[in-house]
Structures are given as C-alpha cells and as structure tokens.
Amino acid sequence: MTARRVRNRMIVVGDRGRASSSGTGGRASVRAAAFEPPTRIIADRYELMDEIGDGGMGVVHRAFDHVTELHVAVKLVHAHLARDPAVRLRMKREARLHRKVNHPNVVHLFDAGETDDAGMFLVFELLAGPTLAACLTRTRRVPQSTVVSVGVQLLRGLEAIHATGIVHRDVKPENVIALGAGDSMDVAGVVKLLDFGIARPIESTRQRDIAAITQLGTTVGTPAYMAPEQVLGLPRQDERTDIYSVGVLLYEMLSQHLPHPTVRNDGGFGHLFERAAVPIRQYAPDVDPGLARIIHTALERMPECRFESAMQFRQRLESWRAGELAARTSRPSGRPTFDPGRTTERGMKSVRARSSV
C-alpha cells in the first residue's frame, strides 16, 4: 500500500499489484485502506500525530516536521473560533509578539499560519514535561530552594519578554512547563513560560485593537493570578503586572494557598483592592521571613510599591538564595569542638592529675 500526501490531508492508495489470500486482489487492499484514519498534513510539512492537550482556544497535537525531521507541538485553533475576526487578530498578534522572544526559559515558537480550510495554527518546540499546575497537585509543599529556582528562571524569561516591549499578562501554573522536576518538586529542573495569547505591548497607542483582541469573554486572564490593574482593565499595564503574577505563583508554591482566597476564577474578586495579601507565614510558618518579605513586595496592590522590574525581583531572590546557602555552610556540623573558656571541672582535674605525674 502506498500513500500520496496532498496539502492538509493524505490519500491512501491500495497496492493493486499485490494478490491477497482471498483472491480479491487489490480490491481488498482498497477496502482495508478505507478504514485507516487519515493523516493530516499542515502546511505541506507538519504531520499531526496524537493529541497532547486541549484548551479553550484549541487543541495541541504532537507532530512531525518533515522539513527539519523533528517532533514539534502544533496548536490548532478550534474551528468555530478561527472564524471569529477578533480571534484571528488575537492569534496573529500572539505569533508576532512571541516571535520577538528567544530565551531558554520561554517556549520557542517555530512557525504560524493558516490551513486550507481557513483554520489557524501555531508550531512550538515539543516539551516533555508537566505543567507546574500538575506538579502542584502531586505535592503538598514545595521546598523553598525549588520555589526560588522556579522564580529566578521565570523572571529571567520575563526579562527577555519585557526587553522586547511586551507584557505577558497570563503567568500562572498552567502556563509554566517544568522539565525534569521531581515528583515532590524537590528540584526545579528547567522552567519554560508559554502562551502569549493575551500578551500586549507595554506601551501601545492602539487601544481599539487591544480591546478587540481581549474582549473574548467577561474576564481576560485568570483572576486569581491577575494584578489589580489588570482586573480593572486599566490602560497602564507594564512589567509590574507580570511581577504580581509571579508573586502569586511563588506564594502558592510555598503555602498551597492563594494570597487573596476570596478571588475566584469566575469573576468574584472579593477584597482584592481593599486588603493586603494574607501573610504567607500564616499558612506556612516555616517560610523564611526574608523570603516572605520579598514575595509580599511583589504582591503589593499598587504597582509603584512592587519591584520596578523583573530583574530587580530576580536579584532579590538570588541574594536571598546566596545568603541562605552561606548560612547553611556556616552552621556547625554537630561535632563537638574544644572551647577553652568552657573547660569543665572534671576536665581540669584530669589535666592536674596528668601534670603531677
């Protein structure tokens, strides 16, 4: 049996030159081929394989790139959404913004385009790892060292994103891949940030276009991880908007709670703008006070009270990590040491006895 590929589909052709034991010849092969599931080829190069993810915007497939001979991840936008002009504008914007970023802690976008049936697709590097959300369902409490490592890597990725003039606006556990993380999150592995679906330029004068892109539902983003200015839809959303989201993520990793428990993802914002975050040590008393202060700085309700940049936030985390490491290495090992100032009476008697011999 042979296969002839055409754009976006594969036609299976029976091999009529091979006889079958039933004596029906090629007709049996043709009938058998009719029951084989068709293989879809996107853009004459991406052969779709198994489905590996499904979300509100589309389905993600593992695929094989016949040009580079690499396995990739292809995101196909749901057909009913692909016909919406606002969605099409949003997807084109996502591809345009994402292509500006090239960093080890940000998933790489290889390609984007349209299918013959007016569908839309994005092609990413294929990542063999769970989301941070999946990791958090497997462990009760993540070690502080792992939390800081995740934070440092995310902030490095955000530094690269912000350097291109983009604010991500959707930093949350579901959009973070943890490669090589242990089942108990005792190690962070390599962390990668994905999904630029609601990203936007930090300074944009095209507010009408932004409104068209983001008005796909009553709330854009995930409220539990959104900064107050994002929830309110204020025009000034910058690096500090993402800093707030990273603060929520790290808070949750350390405590298994959200800093504002009354905030719900269905639009109930509770006292988000009236009260400060619940002190993290109220949920997790063993969290180092210095680390707690760093996270609560990121969670300040007013943007001007947070860290000014992802770099500043990262440097504070790295300084805490260095200090914690120095403190651990300087602690006594538990082996008793001789202290002349604390010589016991029994020891002195032994010294005097030896000296009199």
Nearest one of 261, 258, 313 to 291, comparing CA atoms = 313
Q: Which amino acid would we find at residue 236?
A: R
Q: List the structure tokens of 124.
A: 């990413």
H helix intervals, the chain: 26-34, 79-82, 85-98, 132-138, 144-163, 207-214, 228-231, 239-255, 280-283, 289-298, 310-330, 345-355
Find the catalytic residue in 170, 183, 195, 266: 170
Buried b (16+ CB within 10 A) or exposed e, 169-199: bbbbbebbbbeebeeebeebbebbbbbbbbb
Active site residue 209: no
Q: Which amino acid would we find at residue 283?
A: Y
Q: Round to whole Å and give the CA distance between 238 and 59.
A: 30
Q: Round to whole Å and give the CA distance between 120 and 88.
A: 8
Nearest one of 172, 61, 44, 59 to 126, comparing CA atoms = 61
Q: Round to whole Å and give the CA distance between 344 and 270.
A: 63
Q: Round to whole Å and give the CA distance between 309 and 112.
A: 30
Contact criterion met (CB below 8 Å) for 239 and 162? yes
Instruction: Indicate the DSSP class of residue 234.
Output: -
Indicate which residues carry an active-site annotation: 170
